[in-house]
Amino acid sequence: MKANFSDFSSIFSKQLKPAKGMLLLAEPFMDSPEFGRSVIFLTEFGAKGCMGFIIGRRLNISPAQALEDFPDFTSMLYYGGPVCSDQLFYLHTLGKKLTGSTEIIPGIYSGGDFEMLKSMIKSNHVKPSQVRFFAGYSGWEANQLTRELKENSWIVAPLQEEYLFGDMEHKSLWKEVLRAMGGRYSMVSEFPENPSLN
């Protein structure tokens, strides 16, 4: 199926409203080593700024390899974005079992007592499918994301939990989310990254 680029601009006229717990997909031709074909899970969205994590961009290192005194755990570390990329962040489904967790949307939480989390992992009370570790995050200053949305830099999409905690690589995930949205979004998923080479 040949991509129809006229369908690209039309999808922005009926955009979903951005909100905490939604996904941002980079527009198909975004020329950015950080964000090209990225899928970002929004954990904060407000007038003072926004925050989220790139999902699916796996690093070739585990938390146990990156951190001292971290128990063995069959989970990899993921690149969450360029802000504070030397710091660890985590999303999970443990809820109030992990003291200090913050609910983002029902069933998905961020943060919590790190020492308690390590203890839970060590005692096999946490499965890799329940937590995702990130190096860094993606952030926007006040009104920055709103401005970028008006410039059609991002496509807003609904979250499915398997996107967040699954194993799909970010570029494949970008396509999968668009296909799942159907209609013109599905056609946009087939656009080449560089249309001049098509």
Domains along the chain with CATH numbers: 6-14+21-197 (3.40.1740.10)
Alpha carbon dihedral 168, 19, 25, 42, in 10-degree steps, equals -50
49-54 and 131-141 strand pairing? antiparallel
Largest CA distance in the chain: 54
Q: How far apart are the first and last CA of the chain?
A: 13
Q: Which residues of the chain have pLDDT under 70?
A: 1-13, 194-198
pLDDT at 90: 98
pLDDT at 15: 79
Helix H or strand E encompassing 154: strand 154-157
pLDDT value for 19: 95
Tokens of 31: 């020329």
Query: Which pLDDT score, from 0 to 100, does residue 170 have?
Result: 87
pLDDT given for residue 195 in this prediction? 63
Chain CA centroid to CA 35, Å: 11
pLDDT at 3: 46
How high is the pLDDT of residue 12? 66
Q: What is the 3-state secondary structure (H, E, C) of 6-66?
A: HHHHHHHHHCCCCCCCCEEEECCCCCCCCCCCCEEEEEEEECCEEEEEECCCECCCCHHHH
Per-residue pLDDT at 1: 37
Rounded Cα–Cα distance for residues 64 and 82 (Å) = 21
At which residue do the structure tokens 């308690």 appear?
A: 116
For the entire predicted model, the pTM comes to 0.91
